[in-house]
Amino acid sequence: MKVLSVTAEVFPLVKTGGLADVAGALPAALVAEKIEMRTLVPGYPGVLAALEDAVEALTYGDLMGGPARLLSGRAGGLDVFALEASHLYDREGNPYLNAAGVDWPDNGLRFAALARAAADIGLGKVRGYKPSLIHGHDWQAGLVPAYLRYDDASGPPFVLTIHNLAFQGRFPREQLSAMGLPDHAFTIDGVEYFGDIGMLKAGILMADRVTTVSPTYAAEIASDAGGMGLGGLLKARGEALVGILNGLDTTVWDPLSDPLITKPYSAGRLSGRAANKAALQARFGLEIKPDAPLFGVVSRLTGQKGLDLLLAALPMLLEMGAQLVLVGSGDAQLEAGFAATSGVAPSRIGCVIGYDEVLGHQIQAGADALLVPSRFEPCGLTQLSALRYGAVPVVARTGGLADTVIDANPMAIASGVATGVQFAPIDQVSFDEALRRTIRLYRDKSIWSALQRNGMNTDVSWTASARRYAALYRDTRAKARSSGKPPSV
């Protein structure tokens, strides 16, 4: 079965967060399920530079304001369609933001173009390639089913995955015709959303199926409290909304063969972690102290991630003899907050502001515990890497964090299943208590190494979830067929 994946970012070509990891890992994971996945991605400079054996698959005289070409080829180990449209994508840096960190003003048109191209591929306009299903990611793919619907043509079924409901893709209604949508699309049963064009809303409403990246997040968002304005619509989709946990690319994240870390190790040879901890302390200029509990953070610095709670907890952590290493970037205020802390206790706290994949791996391999105090977290991938690398995850009990970490309460410890520390409610008092509890657990070497080993033995691969996606694709296609939607190849 051929599936077209539509995404604004994909590892290793372009990445700002976990969406890229997921879009990059799924195609390989689906091979075992006999799904051939091809990825449509905007032709940013880095994508076009990586493209090999490119063939022109489609040309546009005018796609949202300029000429464009769809190029088919290989890039970063993936089969891709790159949408070359210099007026939309020929910009260096972050795919969504300008150099000042502000959304590009034409983001509506930039991703409407991506959705338009996806719909055209679905409609069979590329010679020799017609997908049986389109799988779109986040708001950037939300208009795919709208183009299929208002073209009144018979396209393949569409599955939408929500990676983060906080990003909804809202644009002024004046852009409707520039996006190539008819006036009658602007209704509550169409793309209209609180007086604007709502791309994620359109996707949720019109997709054959909606998935999100963990079962708990699926339940949280189908409610007024967690729905961020879309809770009613998500609730109305009923059983069409399901949660499928993300996996990890276990070839990229493998402590036994990771070329980015100091010394390889495994659950059976945990002693190998000590060299990674010492190297990490040295890298961040911290005192090299094998017994100091070393906390790590690898994160975007935004309100979602709850790291303001960590800033407030730092005096307590220092008092308890702990150390902290962080690599992160995002909101200016949080960046400044963490940058300032390195100066307070340089032998105990090290913060690198920026995005650094190598440091991400080294922190997972060397830190004793990884902190993820998110206020909400659709799935989260860093706690999965932490499990795999024996960095005990300390997480807020929300979304995918709730689904992937087993709290080290006395019963779970006694039963030998605990893998980390969870806290709730998500506030300062319970976060501080979780940090104190983590340090108490750390001081008990046999409990701590059991937590590490349990985590490292947890299956965080894509195997089970790839099977779920494959089953969902097949079921969606079968239902679309029986409801009279003509199937494609």
- Of 39, 115, 107, 116, which is closest to residue 72 (Cα–Cα)? 39
Q: Under rule CB under 6 A, which residues in 86-105 are in contact with ligand ADP?
A: none
55 SS3 class: strand
Residues near ligand ADP (CB under 6 A), total: 17
Cβ atoms of 422 and 402 within 8 Å: the answer is: yes
Nearer to ligand GLC, 265 or 469 (CB): 469
Tell me, residue by residue from 145 to 174, as one string, x for binding to ligand GLC by CB under 6 A and - for no binding: ------------------xx----------
Within 10 Å of residue 333's Cβ, how many Cβ atoms?
A: 11
Beta carbon nearer to ligand GLC, 11 or 473: 11
Site for ligand ADP in 292-311 (CB under 6 A): 298-300
Establish if 438 lies at the interface with ligand GLC (CB under 6 A).
no
Which stretches of 328-462 are DSSP H helices?
Answer: 332-344, 357-366, 382-389, 399-404, 410-415, 428-443, 445-456
Distance separating alpha carbons of residues 215 and 242, to the nearest angstrom = 7
Question: What are the residues whose beta carbons fall under 8 Å from the beta carbon of 156, sequence distance 6 or more?
Answer: 122, 130, 131, 132, 133, 134, 477, 480, 487, 488
Looking at residue 445, what DSSP letter applies?
A: H
Closer CB to ligand ADP, 88 or 327, in the complex: 327
CB of 21 to ligand GLC, least distance (A): 7
Residue 95 near ligand GLC by CB under 6 A: no
Q: Find the binder of ligand ADP among 329, 449, 458, 488 (CB under 6 A).
A: 329
Please state, in angstroms and rounded to a whole number, the distance separating the CA atoms of residues 44 and 83: 8
In the complex, minimum distance from the CB of residue 443 to ligand GLC, in angstroms, rounded to a whole number = 31
- Please give the Cα distance from 298 to 281 (Å, whole number): 15
Angle at 382 between CA 219 and CA 329, to 5 degrees: 105
From the list ligand ADP, ligand GLC, none, partner contacted by residue 41 (C-beta under 5 to 8 A by kind): none
**Residue 20 beta carbon to ligand ADP: minimum distance, rounded to whole angstroms:** 8
Q: What are phi and psi of 350, to 5 degrees?
A: -130, 125
| Contacts of ligand ADP in 10-49 (CB under 6 A) | 17-18, 21
* Part of the chain binding ligand GLC (CB under 6 A), chosen from 29-37, 284-292, 371-379, 480-488: 371-379
Comparing every residue's Cβ against ligand GLC, the nearest one is 18
Q: Are 362 and 370 in contact (CB under 8 A)?
A: no
Query: CB nearest ligand ADP: which residue?
Result: 18
Position 254 contacts ligand ADP (CB under 6 A) = no
The stretches of 92-227 forming alpha helices (DSSP H) are: 107-122, 144-150, 199-206, 215-221
Within 349-388, which residues bind ligand ADP (CB under 6 A)?
355-357, 360, 379-382
* 403 is an interface residue for ligand GLC by CB under 6 A: no
Which residues are at the interface with ligand GLC (CB under 6 A)? 17-19, 22, 163-164, 213, 246, 377-381, 400
Which residues are at the interface with ligand ADP (CB under 6 A)? 17-18, 21, 298-300, 327-329, 355-357, 360, 379-382
